Amino acid sequence: MRKNKITRETNETKVSVSINLDGTGEYSNYTNVGFFDHMLDQLSRHSLIDLKVKTTGDTEIDDHHTVEDTGIALGQAVKNALGNKQGIVRYGSCHLPMDDAQIRTSLDFSSRPYFIWNVSFSTNKIGNFDAELVREFFQAFSTHAGLTLHVDMVHGINSHHIAEAIFKSVAKALRQAIEIDPRMAKSLPSTKGTL
């Protein structure tokens, strides 16, 4: 089983992440940021990655450190759980609609982090949540997972729908990319011999 646990502690946050890449999408996520917890639940459910997150952060200041540091820890956990990436599909993509919003995600577990973000939210806030933190989360996640990640909004009106479609689209692409390809289970998906 491809599992990993990460604990990250700074003066601003304490993050504990536990994942199982070969799970069924079970989750228990608590960051004291309600909307973010809901998005992490979506990420787990639609990727089939079992995910437990417990983050305590300086939310009396704002939610930035909590969201970003959770992204860092989750990225590290995914990278560690993948190991040398033997047998994985490596690439994933998903074109996902949610009501008015449509999101296109493409990703590659290349070990060369690169992040492209073509998304604009119609509001600055989703409830009490700063919409710009969605980008901060995925920037941190992609960097620390060693992931090339492209997220493009085709269109969207409602900020909640846009954000949720992003998390679901990334989740579905992740599910595809981390699967073991039965035709290449003993090989690396690269001509370089390493990833």
Digit-coded pLDDT (tens) for 40-67? 999 999 999 999 999 999 999 999 999 9
* pLDDT reading at 98 higher than 90: yes
- Closest listed residue to residue 45, CA positions, set 190, 187, 174: 174
Instruction: Please list, residue by residue across 129-139, b when 16 or more beta carbons sit within 10 angstroms of its beta carbon and e when fewer do.
Output: bbbebbbbbbb
Q: What is the pLDDT of residues 159-186, one digit of tens each?
A: 999 999 999 999 999 999 999 999 999 9
3-class SS string, 119-133: CCCCCCEECCEECCH
Q: Residue 69 in 3-state DSSP? A: helix
